[in-house]
A and B are shown apart, each in its own frame.
Chain A
Amino acid sequence: MNWSFMAQNAHFFVNAAYVTVFISFFGVVFAILIGVVCAALEVSHVPILSPVTRGYIELSRNTPLLVQLYFLYFGLPKLGISWSAQTCAVVGLAFLGGSYMAEAMRGGLEAVPRIQRESARVLGFSPRQTLTHIILPQALSSAIPGVVANVIFLVKESSVVSAIALADVMYVTKDLMGISYDTYESLALLIITYLIILLPISVIGTVLERRFDYARR
């Protein structure tokens, strides 16, 4: 192991990590927003919109992110829409993550037992009160593990954006390997970088799961 090589080139990974974190963060935020809207549409059985939502979810989760990014980066310009690589990366992650988030949140909503709704009704709660005080908090509790897993998944998937020439950590690693042939050290730096980004997310996720786990508390 060439330690001095690793020490000399670590700063490339710091800059690249900003890119990875930046696109992951916005990708995840938009994915969650899309997920909330889609989950709500799915469980409420709105005519037209609910089937459209279903179609989006199936399209999104049954096509590879790489293909989605190629479409956004190389395909859309042919239709006259040119986005920066960064925009394409965020949109791609949100498009993919949206369906995963929607499914996790739908699962949470459907996990709330029917009797909870009925108890609230017998107590005189309005549908809105039932939703905000009973259904949503409990749905959140069951959805958190899935949502956290999706966040981690999306951050890792962001490595694919190197394919559209965005200088994330994966891109920098490939560059470094090509220039130096220190493959082993470069990949070690890459792994360390991902762990530094992802371990805190993992820990926060576990804390959130515990905090909102009404069933075990």
Chain B
Amino acid sequence: MSGVITPRGASRTLLSINSLLVFLFFYAPIILLIIFSFSDNRNVGVWGGFTLDWYGEFADSQPTRKALWNSIQIAVASTIVSVVLGTLGALALERFTFRGKQVFDALLYLPIIIPDVTMAVMMLLFFAELAGVLGLSKGFATITLSHIAFSISFVSVVVRARIAGMDERLEEAAMDLYASRWQAFRYVTLPLIMPGILGGGLLALTLSLDDVVITQFVAGPGWTTLPVFVFGLIRKGVTPLINAVSVVMLLASMALVALSLFVQRVRTTDSA
């Protein structure tokens, strides 16, 4: 890029200090967390020598493992559903005109704007009122439905941006070349918006794995996700077990991000 300037003198020093501080601010807590997850002392933040016990306890602890498994199940289920619905919504808004389109457009993004707590209360009320009708008990179903409800918006925002950037005539060209509507979607539209779908899916997965507030409201007895479980542990007294759990969650998120970057990289080199 021609606009890049190499800083010199005092500005260079100050810029270096700035970036150092920013990185410190970002990563110091993470590094501390990782270090103390290996600490052999019941008090968080007091170093008591190296141990892997907390990870062992995490692996052995029945409730922790169950919470983790719950989290994964909910994240996967809600991601799949919200990716499908969010993508369909995005396609409808970008490719078709229909009655009430503008209203639908505005309403679709409501969950992004509404505060989590409001959303949580709404969901709680909804399930409480309709528990009898829907036959849902609080747990997997209610949590998954809630996560789908907010994830759809995020997925469709990401996918829509991708569709908007795509030349509509590519679909016309496909149909001119004897593709049916479905084939045009399958071989032209879908591959071109796939990075958006993957990005949206990843976002949905992360949001679902992270969510505490909404999940806490709609979770039932005996049905908890990992973040809510960790939150509960803190109230009982903090042990380095929390650190270990957090490190595992951190590594899982990083692995997801790395995976998505890798997938997109393969796709772009494949298509470049």
A binds B: no
